[in-house]
Amino acid sequence: MMESKKPERITKLDGLRGILSLIVALNHSFLVVAIPAFANVWGQNYFEFHDLQSKIQQLLMILGNGGAAVTLFFILSGLVLGQSLSRVEFSPRSLFAFITKRLIRLYPVYIFVILLIALYMRLGFVYQTFPQASLWYIWWMNFEMTFKEFFYNLFFIHTYLGGVTWTLRVIVIASFIIPIFYHFTRKTSWFVDLLIAVALIYADFTIFNIPDFRDLRYLYMFFLGLMLPKFKQFFSHFPNWYIALTLPVTLVILLVTRYMTDEYVGGVFEAIVSWKLIGLIIYSDKTKLFDFLDNKTLQFFGKISYSLYLIHFSILYILARFMFLYLPNLPYADYYLTIHFVLLILSTLIATGVSLLVYKYVEIPSLSLSNRVSKKILGQ
């Protein structure tokens, strides 16, 4: 049965999204320039000191853990999908309306981003490598931009355009699968949900471990977000002293684990810690520790976070390309930390301005359109 009561918006999660979008921006900005002798300086022994510049770079890369940010984004998406599904009847018509609304909400900004990148590549872009650039930077844009390639990216067959667009394909796939889980778990206990989560984590390393198709390996993260509301009482009983005492350790584990393991093993630890962190933010009403997430600046970045997340990479890539082309004699090897800082500030400022326009003229209209289309399908 459709529920009439709409879940109250949790503004602190908007602030969290704002932080995560900035973390991703920091992560990418500090990957651009080749670092002499330390290809993965952020993954070196944390207690081994090489020089001040590399140590600061390493510490900033811990704070700018883009992988952890994506994990949090996936869990938040699972929570949002569950909230949306709580207002939807489980019928073919209602589910069609739900999926249609979801796609209209996500696709316009994505189309805008990949269309601009495709035009940029068609209008005089010539792929080339730069001796000062990192292997990560050189890896991108090394393909011919054809109409066929554009349509491959449009339908997520490829995700070469935009850098982070592979995560959007994961979210779209999860949007088709999570409604099935939601319907199944509406009457299950929290213990059964935990067993399902464990089974999905196990599947991550077995049946979902498909070469060249890693999208299903993140499905358990969405399920963790989906089942969060069943643990409201669990999180609400945490005393303030415990939250204050364990929060620093929680954040260290979240930011460091992947660098000490690998993407998937580390991702499991990240997901568990992220699940706990989001649960505390939502349900621990007694603590004031998370009130900073309601800060106006973070709320602003949370509002434009989807557009900023998709746009920032392309702005950064083009800005760095101009730098390598027209400033080849910069002392990259000696001052890579300063250069990364400048790239972060400039690319974030430009991407923020563009994202605000996209939010206003693309994202808001697409949200309005998705609501109208959904109501029309439902005959409302």
Q: 1 pLDDT band (50/70/90 cuts)?
A: very low
Quick: pLDDT tens for 312-346.
999 999 999 999 999 999 999 899 999 999 999 99
Token readout for 342 is 């400048």
Q: What is the pLDDT of residues 225-267, one digit of tens each?
A: 999 999 999 999 899 999 999 999 999 888 888 777 777 888 9
Instruction: Supply the Cα-derived Rg of the chain in whole angstroms.
Output: 21
Is the per-residue pLDDT at 44 higher than 70? no
CA-to-CA separations, 150 to 154, 159, 250, 315, in angstroms, rounded:
6, 10, 41, 19
User: What local confidence, expressed as pLDDT, does residue 378 receive?
Assistant: 87
Say if 44 falls within a structural domain. yes
Query: What's the pLDDT at 259?
Result: 72
In this predicted structure, what is the pLDDT of residue 2?
Answer: 39
Q: Tell me how far CA of residue 147 lies from CA of 111, 144, 153, 202, 255, in angstroms.
A: 14, 10, 10, 39, 40
Task: Work out the average pLDDT over 202-219.
Answer: 94
| Amino acid 4: pLDDT | 40
Give me the helices (H) in the chain, please.
11-29, 52-63, 66-85, 92-122, 135-139, 147-154, 165-185, 190-204, 219-227, 232-236, 240-260, 263-283, 296-303, 305-326, 336-358, 364-378
User: At residue 169, what is the residue type?
Assistant: R
Task: Share the mean pLDDT of the chain.
Answer: 90
Q: Interhelix angle for 296-303 vs 305-326, to 10°?
A: 90
> What pLDDT is recorded for position 17?
96
Q: Is the pLDDT of residue 39 over 60?
A: no
Per the confidence metrics, is the pTM higher than 0.85?
yes
Residue range of the domain that includes 213: 11-231+297-378
Q: Which of 40-54, 163-177, 205-219, 354-368 has the lowest mean pLDDT?
A: 40-54
Residue 52 amino acid letter: L
In a domain, 143, yes or no: yes
Distances (CA, A) of 21 to 25, 173, 197, 303, 352: 6, 21, 26, 11, 11
Please give the tally of structural domains in the chain: 1
State the amino acid at position 315 in one-letter form: I
Q: Is residue 161 part of a domain?
A: yes
pLDDT above 90: percentage of residues in the chain: 72
Residue 358 has pLDDT above 70, yes or no: yes
Task: Please enumerate, as own/partner, the contacts of 95-99 that have beta carbons within 8 Å and a separation of 24 or more.
Answer: 95/179, 96/377, 97/373, 97/374, 97/377, 97/378, 98/179, 98/374, 99/175, 99/176, 99/179
> pLDDT digit string (tens) for 125-183?
999 999 999 988 999 999 999 999 999 999 999 999 888 999 999 999 999 999 999 99
Q: Is pLDDT above 80 for 121?
A: yes
Exposed, middle or buried by CB within 10 Å (0-12, 13-18, 19+), for 86? middle
Res 8: pLDDT: 66
Kindly state whether residue 290 falls inside one of the protein's structural domains.
no
Is there a domain that residue 134 lies in?
yes
Q: Quick one: average pLDDT of 22-32?
A: 94
Q: Is 164 helix (H, G, I), strand (E, B) or coil?
A: coil
Q: Is residue 345 part of a domain?
A: yes
Confidence of residue 3 (pLDDT cuts 50, 70, 90): very low
